[in-house]
């Protein structure tokens, strides 16, 4: 996998870089980047700030409540998590489903060790 240019400055992204541009909604890692929507970013940020702790779907739903027009159904969290997973594939982090508990963000190396 080759490095790609940064979407904001155009410089080649070093593979060891991990950064999040909260304003632009961009996650940069492993020499690549992912652009997230506001709702996706709200969920990702909630999981990122939890530092590996499980966050319930209800907690994540509250994180996106201000980003959607109508009162969202709880199932929308699963939809957003699915979209985020596709976008961050190859960035070295993943979202783990905790059955009956919710979700948590963890580095891919921890995911493989489990």
* Domains, the chain, with CATH or none: 37-113 (1.10.10.10)
C-alpha–C-alpha distance, residues 84 and 94, integer Å: 9
Evaluate whether 77 touches 65 at the Cβ level (below 8 Å). no
Digit-coded pLDDT (tens) for 49-83: 999 999 999 999 999 987 666 777 899 999 999 99
Evaluate whether 80 touches 64 at the Cβ level (below 8 Å). yes
Q: Is the pLDDT of residue 18 over 90?
A: no
How many residues are present in the chain?
114
Q: Residue 88: what are its φ and ψ, rounded to 5°?
A: -95, 0
**How high is the pLDDT of residue 90?**
86
Q: Locate tokens 């996998």: which residue? A: 1
Beta-bridged to residue 60, according to DSSP, are none
Reported pTM: 0.82
């Amino acid at each position: 996998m080759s490095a790609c240019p940064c979407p904001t400055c155009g410089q080649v992204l070093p593979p060891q870089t991990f950064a999040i541009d909260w304003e632009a909604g961009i996650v940069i890692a492993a020499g690549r980047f992912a652009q997230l929507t506001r709702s996706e970013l709200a969920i990702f940020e909630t999981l990122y700030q939890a530092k590996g702790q499980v966050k319930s779907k209800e907690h994540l739903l509250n994180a996106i409540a201000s980003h959607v027009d109508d009162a969202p159904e709880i199932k929308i969290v699963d939809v957003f998590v699915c979209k985020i997973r596709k976008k961050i594939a190859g960035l070295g982090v993943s979202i783990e489903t905790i059955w009956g508990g919710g979700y948590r963000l963890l580095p891919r190396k921890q995911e493989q060790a489990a």
